[in-house]
Structure 1
Amino acid sequence: MSRTQWTIHGERVVDENRHIKLSTVDIELPDGVKFTQYVARMPRCAMTLVINDNREVLLMYRHRFIIDRWVWELPGGYVDHAEDVAAAAAREVEEETGWRPRAMDHLVTYQPSIGTLDQPQEIYLSHGADLTDTVPDINEAEDVRWIPLVDAVAMIDRGEIIGAATVIAVYRALSLPSE
């Protein structure tokens, strides 16, 4: 099987800050068709699926202004420049929920929208967490709850969980052995 690649003729940065680099890229397809594609590059993100002995998952209820909806999500966020990804995932859980995850195990890495966006997403797994005296950031979540895994699956079906990381993690959790 032969592989043909697109030819990149140039890239121009439209805007850039610590959260995003937006560019236009001039592309030529193998058949000679040329076009300009918008490309967004964003920092790596790390999220954590925290599951307890009762097969409940730790989720946050928050408003996402871009889609103007309230949704349930895993805790997570950007990985700071040289930060260890697992440490970043654990830090985000504690900052956003007040729970400190126990051992962090890598679950999956994926790209959410590879046609236009380059943003590696890593999901970690923690079996259990310990409540701390950290007060969750009010700007992060309206509510934090332990939700039975089977209920989280139903929440996906009802459209209450729509973020890719949370959908992937919840479905992946279905195949985890009971502790």
Structure 2
Amino acid sequence: MPGDELDETTKWTIHGERVVDASRRLTLSVASVELPDGVTFEQYVLRIPKAAIVAVLDGRGGVLMMRRHRFVIDRWVWELPGGYVDPDEDPAVTAAREVEEETGWRPRDVQYLMSAQPNVGLADAENLIYVARGADYVGEPSDVNEAQEVGWIALDSVLDRIAGGEIVGAASQLALLRLLIGR
């Protein structure tokens, strides 16, 4: 197919990466980068573990979401449930576990939907996105710190909620938009 060939002459060269800080959930480093024309510079790089999120659909046009405060941007937003994938854990298992812990709903029929890298110029932070068709209520969320409110949001309201700044997280937006396209 035309345009599928890769021109290696435009590939950036990395001459090393120096770790500035590291924790269980993040490694911050500085990469020494050389552009094809010989220009060199340093670039901050974030290495973040994979995360799994789930769009749980109720079969009646609703999607399970959580309203929570995100202190970094100091805003209340709606998000899909999800969390970091533990080492050696199947991401689909992570996805289902996170939904139950954060919402009190146990998803049924969890299926892989897509993968996304929300900030490819700065971070390696793969988001594995799943869809579940149906869920069973199993009780109050086990982690009371996750959300101020859990609710079934009309999928038809998602575009307005994104435009209104209620849904701002990249992974939630991508998952919801992908589901709207597929209808």
TM-score, normalization: structure 2?
0.93
3, 6, 25: which one aligns with 2:8 = 3
1:126 corresponds, among 128, 132, 147, to 132
1:16 aligns with 2:22: yes
| Corresponding residue number in structure 2 for 1:167 | 173
Q: Are positions 1:46 and 2:52 aligned together?
A: yes
Within 1, Cα distance between the matches of 2:140 and 2:129?
A: 22
Seq. identity, %: 53
Q: Deviations over 1:30-76 (max 9, x none)?
A: 10101000000000000000011111000000000000000000000
C-alpha displacement of 1:167: 0.7
Alignment RMSD, CA only? 1.1
Structure 1 runs, 4 residues or longer, greater than 6 Å off: none
Letter in 2 for 1:46: A
Alignment length (residue pairs): 177
> In the TM superposition, what whole-angstrom CA distance separates every residue of 1:85-125 from its partner, at most 9, and x where no partner exists?
00000000000000000011101101011001001101100
TM-score by length of 1: 0.95
Q: Any unmatched runs of 5+ in structure 1? A: none
Q: Is 1:65 the counterpart of 2:74 in the alignment?
A: no
Equivalence for 1:151 = 157
Unaligned runs of at least 5 residues, structure 2: none
Deviations along 1:110-144, one digit per CA (max 9) or x if unpaired, are: 10110010011011000110000253422100000
Q: Secondary structure at the match of 1:63?
A: strand
> What is the alpha-carbon distance in structure 2 between the residues aligned to residue 136 and residue 125 of structure 1?
21
CA–CA distance in structure 2, aligned partners of residues 153 and 132 of structure 1: 30
Distance 1:17 1:114 in 2: 20
Among 43, 61, 65, the alignment partner of 1:55 is 61
